[in-house]
Amino acid sequence: GEDVEQSLFLSVREGDSSVINCTYTDSSSTYLYWYKQEPGAGLQLLTYIFSNMDMKQDQRLTVLLNKKDKHLSLRIADTQTGDSAIYFCAENAGNNRKLIWGLGTSLAVNP
C-alpha cells in the first residue's frame, strides 16, 4: 500500500543546514511535496518536485529525489529560528488529487 515515512524530530543550531528525510513506497508517484506548518497556522506549500527530476533548488531550499530508493530530502541552508515548524512530506500518486502524507518532522532551531 501507500506509505510515507519521516523521522519525527530534528534539532539544529541556527546557521547550520537542516536535512529532513522522507521515504515513500508508491513508485507511481508523480509529484512529491514539502509543506511547512508553524504552530497554530495552516499548511504552507514550500516546494514540490516532479518525479522525473532529481533535484530542485529554490533560494535556501534544496530538494533531492532518489527515485530508485524512493527517498526524498529537503535541505534548508543557513537555518533560522523562523524555520522552526513541522515539515510534512507528501506524495501524489495518481490523478485523484489525493495526497498521501508523512507524519511530519518537527524541526527545532536553537540559537
Q: Where on the chain is the footprint of another protein (CB under 8 A)? A: 30-31, 33, 35, 40-45, 48, 86, 88, 90, 92, 96-99, 101-104, 106
14 or 67: whose CB is closer to another protein?
67
Residue-wise DSSP of 21-69 = EEEE--TT--EEEEEEE-TTS-EEEEEEEETT-SEEEETTEEEEEETTT
| Cα radius of gyration rounded to whole Å, the chain | 13
Q: Smallest gap, in angstroms, from Cβ of residue 101 to another protein?
A: 4
Q: Smallest gap, in angstroms, from Cβ of residue 92 to another protein?
A: 6
Q: Smallest gap, in angstroms, from Cβ of residue 31 to another protein?
A: 5
Q: Is 40 left (phi over 0), alpha (psi -120 to 50) or beta?
A: left
61 or 99: whose CB is closer to another protein?
99
